[in-house]
């Protein structure tokens, strides 16, 4: 956390009781007292820069970079008020139901994650809120180390005290991956369904929730033009959760169950070529953070040294979409 200067009182009281013969009985409670701290100074790449438009960089393959602006100068950026409320409700139902109520941490999930990690003997599950996922995608590396986890916790606290909840959600939906080389809900909504993000239906919104944990692998469904039975069942369960939590009316729920889900495809890529592209993307998957391939170096040097992206060459739309010339404005 080089470049930070923090003043205040920090205290922690963590209690862990592990019964190795009965891991499900594991107890985890306590508190981390950081709310009485204040950031006095911070580095240029701190969360404060995310208040305004910023450039997001992704290494999609080894030494193959793309970059895009997260803000209004990018016509693929979608403001939060132009994103379907069904998508927001669906994402909250699967990822972080109390996003607008908590302060960045889902404390009840920490115990569950600890138990599952102990059972696996490895780090297999986190307890990530939407804020924490945004931090991991925009501000951190993907290595699962204790140092990185501590950085994630601090930056989550700092983000929650720097940005509004709406801005956090807006960034999250505009930077996460929805398929191989497909970033942001604007491009994703058009690519999968040929429509603007604000026009997504409840069923389409629930589909996006099903692919988030593994967007590259689950993109195979788009290649094949059909959903797996698992995805169909998962979509129905998400819709049930949304109904139960009053995020859908009964009429909306009934209509969503009856509505078919069809991908928008122009036939420019065969199923075989699409699946090959997915296989290559999975094999060559890289960390999403722009600093990951240049750990320890200056962020600006990383940007300078990477191969020029299509956006740098003024070919922003062709870089990301086959439908660049005829798609509707986002």
Look at the chain and report how many structural domains it folds into: 1
Q: So what's the pLDDT on residue 241? A: 97
Calpha distance 29→107 (Å, rounded): 9
Position 308 in a domain: yes
Spacing of C-alpha 234 from chain mean position: 19
Position 288 in a domain: yes
Q: So what's the pLDDT on residue 65? A: 82
Position 328 in a domain: no
What pTM was computed for the model?
Answer: 0.78
Supply φ then ψ for residue 175, to 5 degrees.
-120, -20
Q: What is the CATH number of the domain that holds 240?
A: 1.10.3810.10
Map tokens 């369904």 to a residue: 193
* Nearest one of 159, 165, 111, 116 to 136, comparing CA atoms: 159
Position 135 in a domain: yes
Position 326 in a domain: no
Position 285 in a domain: yes
Q: 3-state DSSP call for residue 218?
A: helix
Spacing of C-alpha 114 from chain mean position: 22
Calpha distance 277→177 (Å, rounded): 15
Calpha distance 221→227 (Å, rounded): 5
Calpha distance 139→163 (Å, rounded): 14
* Nearest one of 211, 256, 222, 251 to 91, comparing CA atoms: 211
Position 327 in a domain: no
List Cα–Cα distances, 187 to 36, 74, 77, 320, in angstroms: 41, 11, 9, 8
From first to last of its 330 residues, the chain has per-residue pLDDT tens of 677 787 877 666 667 788 888 878 877 766 666 666 777 788 888 889 999 999 998 887 777 788 999 999 999 999 999 999 999 999 999 988 888 888 766 566 666 666 777 777 765 555 578 998 999 889 886 555 556 667 888 888 899 989 999 999 999 999 999 999 999 999 999 999 999 999 999 999 999 999 988 999 999 999 999 999 999 999 999 999 999 999 999 999 999 999 999 999 989 999 999 999 999 999 887 655 444 433 333 333 433 343 333 334 334 333 343 333 444 444
Calpha distance 144→13 (Å, rounded): 23
- For residue 314, give its domain range: 5-320
């Amino acid at each position: 956390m080089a470049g930070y200067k923090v003043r205040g009182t920090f205290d922690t009281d963590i209690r862990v009781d592990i019964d190795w013969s009965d891991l499900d009985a594991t107890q985890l409670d306590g508190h981390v007292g950081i709310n009485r701290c204040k950031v006095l100074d911070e580095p240029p790449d701190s969360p404060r820069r995310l208040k305004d438009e910023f450039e997001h960089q992704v290494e999609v393959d080894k030494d193959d970079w793309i970059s895009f602006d997260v803000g209004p100068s990018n016509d693929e950026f979608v403001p939060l008020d132009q994103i379907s409320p069904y998508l927001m409700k669906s994402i909250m139902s699967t990822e972080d139901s109390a996003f607008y109520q908590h302060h960045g941490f889902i404390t009840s999930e920490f115990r569950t994650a600890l138990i599952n990690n102990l059972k696996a003997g490895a780090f297999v599950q986190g307890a990530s809120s939407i804020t924490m996922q945004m931090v991991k995608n925009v501000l951190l590396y993907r290595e699962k180390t204790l140092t990185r986890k501590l950085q994630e916790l601090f930056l989550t606290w700092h983000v929650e005290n720097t940005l509004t909840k709406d801005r956090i959600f807006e960034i999250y939906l505009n930077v996460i991956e929805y398929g191989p080389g497909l970033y942001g809900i604007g491009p994703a909504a058009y690519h999968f369904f040929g429509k603007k993000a604000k026009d997504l239906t409840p069923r389409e919104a629930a589909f996006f929730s099903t692919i988030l944990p593994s967007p590259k692998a689950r993109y195979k469904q788009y290649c094949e033009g059909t959903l797996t039975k698992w995805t169909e069942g998962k979509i129905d369960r998400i819709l049930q959760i949304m109904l139960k939590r009053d995020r859908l009316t009964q009429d909306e729920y009934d209509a969503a169950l009856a509505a078919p889900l069809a991908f928008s495809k122009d036939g420019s890529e065969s199923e075989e070529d699409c699946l090959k592209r997915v296989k290559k993307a999975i094999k060559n998957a890289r960390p999403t953070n722009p600093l990951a391939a240049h750990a320890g170096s200056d962020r600006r040097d990383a940007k300078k040294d990477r191969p020029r992206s299509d956006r740098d060459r003024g070919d922003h739309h062709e870089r990301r979409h086959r439908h660049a010339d005829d798609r509707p404005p986002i």
